[in-house]
Amino acid sequence: MSNVIHEPSCSCNQCYSTTRRDFLKSAALLTGGLSMMGTTVAGAAANPDDKHVREMAKSKAVLDSKASRFTILYTADIHGQILTHDEFFLEGGNPVYKKRGGMAVLKTMLHSLKAENPENTLILDAGDCFQGSGIVALTKGAAMVPLMNNIGYDVVLPGNWEVAYGKEMMRKDLGAYDADKICANMYHDTDDELNGELIFQPYWTKMMGGIKIGFIGYNDPLTPKRQSPAYSYGITFTKPETNVAKYIRLLRDYEKCSMVFLVTHMGLAQQVHLANQSYVEGADYVLGADTHERVRKPIEGKHSKVTEPGAFGSFVSKLDFVLENGVVKDHHYDLLDVDPERYPPDAEMEVLVKQVREPYRETLDKVIGKSKNTLVRYYVIETPMDNMITDAIMWKTKPDIALSNGFRFCPPLVPNPTTGYAEITNDYLWSMLPVDTHARQATVTGKQIWDWMEKELHNVFSSDPANRFGGWVIRFKGMEVNFTMRSELGKRVNWIKVKGKQIDLTKSYSVVACEREGDPEEMLCRIDQVSEPHNLDTTLHELMREYLAKFSPVAPKVEGRITATDAPANLLSQLEGYEYEFR
């Protein structure tokens, strides 16, 4: 009997309809009547780099009301991570792990920062919010709605994973947000009167301190190719160049916006590329997302500056501006940690998080295995986490080659220093593999594998950022690959070995990967024209539970299954040519 997670019999609408009276009643039970109303932190430490911001606020022009000061706080790629978790940092070239994030900590932080300039601060999210954890998978994103509403976001952009539960569920989840939604490149592709119309409003404006600022939203136009095509049924995506110049001109010339921001979910390399294109002239900033990059200093493009605020609710980007007569006189940017030691969790949000988890808590918190090594997925080329997944696929299905997609999401999991083990729960399994699809097997030739590997590497390292998919290198077991990152398409792969032997381009090999709903029958993990494709009688979650039950504690590590001649094994970003370092 398979250990399948069943969804409890409660309506997702219950997540939407919880009232403030319910919050306070529950809070009284949980906290002995502690006050729920405070949104700032008395005695919280000052921001580590806020001297410049204080000077901006006290400038003579601002005090004399001749200049306007406003603040933007923005998050992205929360991926359903509603609890405080382990987070990866690079310090002195070595990985370091610290506790970060959690919606209750994030709320305290955002409200504390907003209190510094309450009338002229807005809160924004740039997408990939309700996919990537157990609670959002089991509620099809609905659990995030009351949490985001409780924080009080002003405007949000749908990300590429917002389509994970289909177009209608995306519309229901986002429609239940109190925040305004923007996206200028997602259109209805239907047989009714909505066909050809934008699903969301393309832009949003707001008066801040007597001036108007505007925001235009763009999701990744490659979304239907990056993910299971079925997720995007009924949606057409266009590239920003189709209409961004039109909307910039509209906001500048007709709406009379003093500043224009592009809110994009396209990946850092693509967003820097966008900032260098003539058709974005007039946009001041690209507020980016998707690749989970931590931009600590805005990247200077030819026409716009680019930022990205990390992932998993672990960081907040803070932008402060002073404008006089529509001209930026001063500005400051920080990437700030969502640190539970500096920002105590908001009690009201803690109650709400507990409420949305409660119907699923027992299942989500069940321990299914242990690891002696840290599970991490931040490396571009090879990761311990995906080595564990492909180890499990290989053990259960016994193909020549086992594959796992080049996912970026999932925070680390660090062993407890007392026990020496990290406990892997069902919730963490959903974070590693947020879609529980069937394992799928097919037969492919060595030539198909070689050509596919070239294409997959091009998707990650193309010299033209517009051709990059945003994901990291495909993961595998049973195969070894050596490549040169900076070579051109068709010349990156240096050699491939299967089970220790040089690949035979004429030989057939068995491959197992995950099923992608909506792919053509003859496609497996983006390999075209495979032979004998068929689903196996196990899902990825089932085989992972079996594997962990048999082999725990596991100890996955980077083994050199894939290596580059011109990049280190711990490569953390695909962006080159700019003063940027992931840390």
Report pLDDT for 62. 58
Q: Which residue has the higher pLDDT, 506 or 469?
A: 506
Report pLDDT for 526. 87
Q: Which residue has the higher pLDDT, 72 or 31?
A: 72
CA 516 to chain CA centroid, Å, is: 19
CA distance 111 to 194: 38
Report pLDDT for 39. 36
Mean pLDDT within 538-567: 97
Kindly calculate the radius of gyration of the chain based on its CA atoms and give it in whole angstroms.
Answer: 24
Contact 414, 374 (CB under 8 A): yes
Domains detected in the chain: 53-90+100-355 (3.60.21.10), 366-564 (3.90.780.10)
The one-letter amino acid code at 65 reads S
Q: Which residue has the higher pLDDT, 54 or 12?
A: 54
CA distances from 109 to 116, 123, 288, 480 (A): 11, 12, 21, 45
pLDDT at 395 over 70: yes
pLDDT at 531 over 80: yes
Largest CA distance in the chain: 78
* DSSP codes of every residue in 215-279: EEEEE-TTHHHHS-GGGGTTEEE--GGGTHHHHHHIIIIIS--SEEEEEEES-HHHHHHHHTSGG
CA distance 458 to 438: 27
pLDDT at 544 over 50: yes
CA distance 237 to 227: 13
Contact 132, 409 (CB under 8 A): yes
For the beta carbon of residue 425, count every other beta carbon within 10 angstroms: 18
**Residue 516 confidence class, pLDDT cut points 50, 70, 90:** confident
The residues, ordered by sequence, that sit 6+ positions from 176 with a Cβ below 8 Å of its Cβ are 16, 142, 145, 149
Report pLDDT for 22. 44
Report pLDDT for 60. 52
Q: Between β-strands 315-324 and 327-337, what pairing exists: parallel, antiparallel or unpaired?
A: antiparallel
Report pLDDT for 191. 87
The secondary structure element, H or E, covering residue 450 is helix 446-461
pLDDT at 247 over 50: yes
pLDDT at 267 over 80: yes
Segment 1-35, tens digit of pLDDT: 333 333 333 444 444 444 444 433 343 333 333 33
Segment 85-123, tens digit of pLDDT: 999 999 988 999 999 999 999 999 999 999 999 999 999
For the beta carbon of residue 355, count every other beta carbon within 10 angstroms: 18
CA distance 396 to 421: 24
Report pLDDT for 555. 98
Report pLDDT for 82. 98
For 15, the token pair is: 């997540």
Phi, psi (deg, nearest 5) at residue 97? -120, 135
Average pLDDT in the chain = 89
Report pLDDT for 225. 82
Segment 313-342, tens digit of pLDDT: 999 999 999 988 878 888 999 999 999 999
Range from 65-69, 227-231, 236-240, 575-579 that averages highest in pLDDT: 236-240
Mean pLDDT within 128-149: 96
Percentage of the chain surpassing pLDDT 70? 88
Contact 569, 557 (CB under 8 A): no
Residue 442, phi-psi category: left (phi > 0), alpha (psi -120 to 50), beta (remainder): beta
Among 81-85, 248-252, 370-374, 402-406, whose mean pLDDT is lowest? 402-406
What does the angle CA 214 – CA 217 – CA 222 come to, to the nearest 5 degrees?
160
Which ranges in 384-445 belong to alpha helices (H)?
Answer: 384-397, 426-432
Contact 206, 213 (CB under 8 A): yes
pLDDT at 286 over 50: yes
Segment 423-445, tens digit of pLDDT: 999 999 999 999 899 999 999 99
Contact 538, 438 (CB under 8 A): yes
CA distance 462 to 574: 9
**Residue 65 confidence class, pLDDT cut points 50, 70, 90:** low
- Sign of torsion over alpha carbons 544, 548, 551, 555: positive
Residue with tokens 């097919």: 442
Percentage of the chain surpassing pLDDT 90? 76
Report pLDDT for 50. 66
pLDDT at 61 over 70: no
Q: Which of 408, 515, 382 is nearest to 470 (CA)?
A: 408
Q: Between β-strands 475-477 and 562-564, what pairing exists: parallel, antiparallel or unpaired?
A: unpaired
Residue with tokens 């039970």: 29
The one-letter amino acid code at 335 reads L
Mean pLDDT within 498-523: 92
How many helices (H) and strands (E) the chain has is answered by 17, 27
